[in-house]
Structure 1
Amino acid sequence: MRAVAVFVPVLCYLAVAHAWTCREAPQHYFAVQIDAGLGQVVMTDRDNLAYSLSGSTWYRLGTARLKHVSVGSAGIWGVDASNRVYKYVSGNFVLSDGLSLRQVDAGGSGQVVGISTSNTAYCLKSTIVSTYAQVSVLSWDSLSRNLIYYSCGPLFGCWGTDAANRIYVTQRIIPNTCETSGWVVTDGAAKMAEVGSDGTVFVLNAQGSVFQRIGITSSAPQGTQWVHIPVCMPINHLTYDLGTLWLVTSGGTLMQCTQ
């Protein structure tokens, strides 16, 4: 039976102080996780099914059941409930052998990063990513950093969070070698961080509140301060791309916000 939509007043999602206006996005009820990159938007639902947004309609991606999916310059990648890693190739997901990951991110400059079941950050070189097309063993490089969530953009490095909700940023990652440098801990606390293709960074804290990092530049990739984006209900997941902030509420409703 199709779920009944819950009407959410637009004014409830008006962040007046910083000119963010939110509205209901095209709905796929009981959404769990969402990711956007290069103009594409993908998501997973409570049944571990992956979808891609076209116009106002969500279309099923492949036949694999995934708990997390990511899209970006590295293509579309995902992980399933058994922490197996997949790449979307020619209309379906191709399983990879080797490392098990809980979360992946494809939003960097061709590399893929992810978090293992032991909370270690890993990176897959862009040279491997670009040629992977059939089931085989992938060789991941450890980044020697314990994190629970990790996200990269093509500008200004990558951001991550650890089990203590500390927020990290690395000022450089080389896509074809996965070499990283300039790790620093920023102020604030969050359970996840997402980086947009323009370098914009948002985080979500343990209470479901959304914050944007401002002051990010090439000379100061860690930015200067956090700005709260008021939303009147807890948020479970978020992503940002091309001027649109996408939110998944605690009830599985999808929202899109613009300035």
Structure 2
Amino acid sequence: MMKFICLVLLLCTAQSTLGAWQKLDGGLKHVSVGRAGVWGVNNNDNIYYRRDTYGDNANPGTTWTQIAGGLKQVDVGDDMVWGVNSNDDIFYRSDINEGDQDGANWVKIEGKLKHITVSQKGHVWGVNSGDNIYHRIGVSGCSKAGSSWKLIAGGLKQISVGSSGVWGVNSGDQIFYRQGTFGDPVEDTDGSGWTHVAGGLKYISSAEVLYGVNAGDLIYYRAGVCEETPVGTSWVQIAGRLKQIESLSPVVWGVNSNANIYTKEDDA
């Protein structure tokens, strides 16, 4: 039965790359998509929210609305947006909901990170300027801020948590999967160790489909990722060039080296 499920997921993953890229207005250096909508930051660290994408990530939205504050990177979950600024200070956006899709304020959290990630179940991980890895303990619907940072063994320059588990890449563009995190379990787990996965990527995005881009901005998805084989089977290249990519079924978003913004349907 598990082999059959893996085969079905593999076929679905293959279908997910069929859509054509659509260029949107605006310019961003980083974009993220979650059930709280599509958010991004530009080269001046200005923050933007894409109107009409909250709770409807399949919608490409209408216009970009600037949000007060300055961040160099953001990541979007379910009613949660976290980010870091040029000083590596950490923030989350309070009171995001259907009635107030912009949220209310940026709330500063203790610690320093250069990159942060939040899953659709509210699990938060990050890496600092020394490539140390941290897991935020105690984040929940009742406690958006969580309680503390836990240092996790290993070293990564970028990390992503989502339905495919916790994945990351190190300073040599080597790829790693955190054992025991596939499916983004409701029980927030540290996992049990890192598994090196063949290939080379500078940025990776964990969701229903695992995407990544390499040093040449070539785009790949990981085939065969499922509960039985959480590390998948192979990397499959798709059309286009992006420097950064994020996805949440049924859409993929990304930006290229010229800060152009693109999206496409997974078609899964």
> Do Structure 1 and Structure 2 share a fold, with TM-score over 0.5?
yes
Identity %: 22
The aligned amino acid for 2:124 is: V
Could you tell me whether the CA contact under 8 Å between 2:35 and 2:79 is conserved in 1?
Answer: no
Provide Cα deviations, 1:218-254, integer angstroms capped at 9, x if missing partner: 11110101110121xx422111112211120111111
Structure 1 residue 156: Cα displacement: 3.8
| Structure-2-length-normalised TM-score | 0.80
**Within-5 A mapping of 1:79-228:** 79-90=84-95, 91-97=104-110, 99-107=111-119, 109-127=121-139, 130-132=142-144, 139-153=148-162, 155-173=163-181, 178-196=189-207, 198=208, 200-228=209-237
Q: Which runs of 5+ in 2 are unaligned?
A: 1-16, 52-60, 96-103
Could you tell me whether the CA contact under 8 Å between 2:137 and 2:147 is conserved in 1?
Answer: no
Could you tell me whether the CA contact under 8 Å between 1:43 and 1:69 is conserved in 2?
Answer: yes
CA distance in 1, matches of 2:260, 2:159: 24
Structure 1 residue 177: Cα displacement: 5.4
CA distance in 2, matches of 1:171, 1:60: 38
Q: Which residue of 2 aligns with 1:60?
A: 66
The aligned amino acid for 2:200 is: A
Compared CA separation, residues 169 and 129, structure 1 to 2 (3 A): farther
Greater fraction strand: 1
Compared CA separation, residues 34 and 92, structure 1 to 2 (3 A): same
Could you tell me whether the CA contact under 8 Å between 1:102 and 1:115 is conserved in 2?
Answer: yes
The aligned amino acid for 2:108 is: L
Provide Cα deviations, 1:45-73, integer angstroms capped at 9, x if missing partner: 01101111113111122x22000011113
More deviation, 214-223/235-244? 235-244
CA distance in 2, matches of 1:189, 1:129: 36
Could you tell me whether the CA contact under 8 Å between 2:36 and 2:76 is conserved in 1?
Answer: no
Structure 1 residue 184: Cα displacement: 0.8
The aligned amino acid for 1:246 is: W
Could you tell me whether the CA contact under 8 Å between 2:36 and 2:79 is conserved in 1?
Answer: no
SS in 2 for 1:146: coil
Give the length in aligned residue pairs: 232
CA distance in 2, matches of 1:130, 1:217: 30
CA distance in 2, matches of 1:20, 1:203: 17
Could you tell me whether the CA contact under 8 Å between 1:74 and 1:129 is conserved in 2?
Answer: no
| Structure-1-length-normalised TM-score | 0.82
Structure 1 residue 108: Cα displacement: 5.2
Could you tell me whether the CA contact under 8 Å between 1:96 and 1:138 is conserved in 2?
Answer: no
The aligned amino acid for 1:151 is: S
